A and B are shown apart, each in its own frame.
Chain A
Amino acid sequence: MNLPSIAAIAHQAAAAGLDIVPFAVPLFVLAIVLEMVWAARHAPGAYEPGDTLTSLLMGLGSTIAGGLVASAIVVAAGWLYAHRVATVPVVWWTWIAVFVVDDFNYYWFHRTAHRVRWFWASHVNHHSSQHYNLSTALRQTWTGFPALSFAWRIWPAFFGVAPGMLLTVGGINLVYQFWIHTEAVHRMPRWFEAVMNTPSHHRVHHGTNPRYLDRNYAGVLIVWDRLFKSFEPERDDDPVRYGIVHQLGTFALTTVAFHEWRAIGRDVWHAPLLAKLGYLVREPGWRHDGNHTTSAVIRERWRAAQPGGEPD
């Protein structure tokens, strides 16, 4: 039997896209089982069955929603590629370059998903678990398409990157991020922590501690956070409390999926005419009456309450 060469696979992936996520699903399941065994021995509170069920059902719903709209995203990327201004060749180093560009795009998509309420509404469900385990990684959005999240990742097609390459590296990025959703790994080697996103860095990202709010947006490479001044290291004297500032207090699936969209609807409805847009494009916690509870305000209040007014 003749196996296809790596170059042939790479060209096929660039042409049609190689989505590695379905191949990774059995590994996801196995890793969750192993983490549960670890939790049973070392940290039973790391998992909560109701929370896990909700997270996994959110993951399934996200897959179904993604499958239903995939063709529209492919058409959009294909249209951009058809009108491209250049053509990026499919060689080994362009695969690396496209992966880095896509990770850069992910960083800005993710940062915007936390700083603009319209995008936050579709991303918040990934953060609404008060637990941080591998099932949390699969707690994904059902409403990414109407929030136009995909627009952040497909623009390189206009500059000649084959849509198949974007799909392939996007899948690799997603699979990488699975394993960093765990408390079972304390710290990786220093060189790894310096360059790559790790469980420690991403625990910070899921934290509600004022120190950790809206930090560490990276997907695979943590260097983007270091470069754009959004990096915060995890501290052993400030254990991460997971979830969102206003914890949901429910495992109800529809609430987890849609609560922020409903809240936006209510705020826009009740706001004065000139303030309505603010509830869509300003940061979560912004209010037209000035009574903000944004992450910056929360952090400032917390700093002011510290002895001496400034924490370490």
Chain B
Amino acid sequence: MTPQPQAHAVEAHAHLGATIAALFARPDVGPWLMLAVQVTVSLILILALYWLARAMRLGGDVRIADAAHAAALAEATFPGFAAEEITVDRARIGALVRNRAGHVVLIRRHGARFVGRELTHHKGIRLDRHTLTLETGDPRFGPLTLDLGAEAQTWAASLRRLHGEMPDHVSGHAS
């Protein structure tokens, strides 16, 4: 007696293989099929690497160490920026840094790094007891709420004096 179900399965697999091979051989389908396979395999590898980076806890939980660190971040954002006044969020995820000329840089965490923008206008600044919500006008930067403790009121008052141009976009910049 021949085990017919197994024979059918082998035949079906052979048929499927032949169909796939024929599709790959067709000049109007093959290249696109190959591209689809490459994209799918690449996506799987990319997601695997992303998962591995997360599993290894790469990046970590970075915070602003202290006022000197915040000053260095402002200087890195605007070379030559000499910090005079600094306030750091109580969770150390952001900071405000002012120089002698009154320019204010807002620093926030971005992944395992930090980014900064100049705060040029009081628009969008909201004080709620110890927290200050700030907007730079750059949608990519987004609003940021800082818990500044008792310093929130003082900074809010001083930031209300900002009346510069609120940038509606970020212009071209050097590399």
Which stretch in A11-19, A28-36, A174-182, A191-199 binds the other chain? Answer: A28-36
A142: which B residues are within 8 A, CB to CB?
none
Q: Is B80 an interface position by the 8 A CB rule?
A: yes
B 101-127 to A, binary, CB cutoff 8 A, 1 in contact else 0: 000000010111101110000000000
Q: How far is the CB of B65 from chain A (nearest CB, A)?
A: 13
Please pick, from B50, B138, B172, the residue contacting A279 in the complex, using a CB distance under 8 A.
B172
Please indicate the chain A residues that have their CB under 8 angstroms from the CB of B57 in the complex.
Answer: 40, 44
CA distance A57 to B35 in the complex (A): 15
Q: Are A245 and B58 in contact (CB under 8 A)?
A: no
A107 interface residue per 8 A CB criterion? no
Question: Is there a chain B Cβ closer than 8 Å to A230's Cβ?
Answer: no
Contact of B175 among A47, A51, A213, A302 (CB under 8 A): A213
B174-A283 in contact (CB<8A): yes
Quick check: B173 and A284 within 8 Å, CB to CB? yes
A263, B169: Cβ atoms under 8 Å?
Answer: yes
B175–A127 contact, CB under 8 A? yes
Q: How far is the CA of A287 from the CA of B171 in the complex (A)?
A: 9
> In the complex, which of the residues B42, B49, B79, B112 contacts A135, with contact meaning CB atoms closer than 8 Å?
B49
The residue from B50, B140, B174, B175 contacting A250, defined by CB atoms under 8 A apart: B140
Given that A130-B110, A263-B172 are contacting pairs, would A44 and B58 also be in contact in the complex, using a CB cutoff of 8 Å?
yes
User: CB within 8 Å of B: which of A281-307?
Assistant: 283-287, 293-295, 297-298, 301-302, 304-305
Partner of A263, one of B54, B58, B171, B174: B171
Q: Which residue of B lies closest to A206 (CB)?
A: B175
B111–A40 CB distance below 8 A: no
**B103 shortest CB reach to chain A, Å:** 13
Q: Is A103 an interface residue (CB 8 A)?
A: no
Q: A residues within 8 A CB of B108?
A: 249
Given the known interface contacts A44-B60, A301-B79, A305-B80, the answer about A49 and B172 at a Cβ–Cβ threshold of 8 Å is no
Interface contact B49-A52, CB-CB below 8 Å: yes
- Contact partners of A297 in chain B: CB under 8 A: 174
Q: A48-B59, A56-B50, A249-B115 are in contact. Are A302 and B79 (CB under 8 A)?
A: yes
CB of B112 within 8 A of CB of A57, answer no
**B29 contacts partner chain A, Cβ-Cβ < 8 Å:** no
How would residues 38 to 61 of chain A score, 1 for a CB under 8 Å from any chain B CB and 0 otherwise? 011000111111111100110010
Q: Does B76 contact A (CB under 8 A)?
A: yes
Partner of B58, one of A46, A63, A210, A284: A46
Instruction: Contact check, A56 vs B111: say whether CB atoms are below 8 A apart.
Output: no
Decide if B157 is an interface residue (CB 8 Å cutoff).
Answer: no
By a CB distance below 8 angstroms, the chain B residues around A283 are 174
Question: B18 on the interface (CB 8 Å rule)?
Answer: no
Cβ of B141 under 8 Å from chain A: yes
Q: Which residues 253-302 of A sit at the B interface, judged by CB distance below 8 A?
A: 255, 259-260, 263-264, 266-267, 279, 283-287, 293-295, 297-298, 301-302
Binding site for A on B (CB under 8 A): 35, 38-39, 42-43, 45-46, 49-50, 52-54, 56-60, 62, 76-77, 79-80, 82, 108, 110-113, 115-117, 138, 140-142, 169-175
Listed A/B pairs (30) with beta-carbon separation below 8 Å: A29-B45, A29-B49, A33-B52, A45-B62, A46-B58, A47-B58, A47-B59, A49-B58, A50-B111, A51-B59, A52-B49, A52-B58, A56-B49, A57-B46, A64-B39, A114-B175, A120-B175, A124-B175, A127-B175, A130-B115, A244-B175, A248-B140, A252-B140, A263-B172, A266-B171, A284-B174, A285-B173, A286-B172, A297-B174, A305-B82
Q: Assuming A127-B175, A244-B173, what are 8 further A-B pairs, CB within 8 angstroms? A: A53-B46, A57-B46, A63-B38, A210-B79, A214-B175, A241-B76, A248-B140, A251-B111
- Chain A residues proximal to chain B, CB less than 8 Å: 29, 32-33, 36-37, 39-40, 44-53, 56-57, 60, 63-64, 67, 114, 117, 120, 124, 127, 130-131, 135, 208-210, 213-214, 241, 243-252, 255, 259-260, 263-264, 266-267, 279, 283-287, 293-295, 297-298, 301-302, 304-305
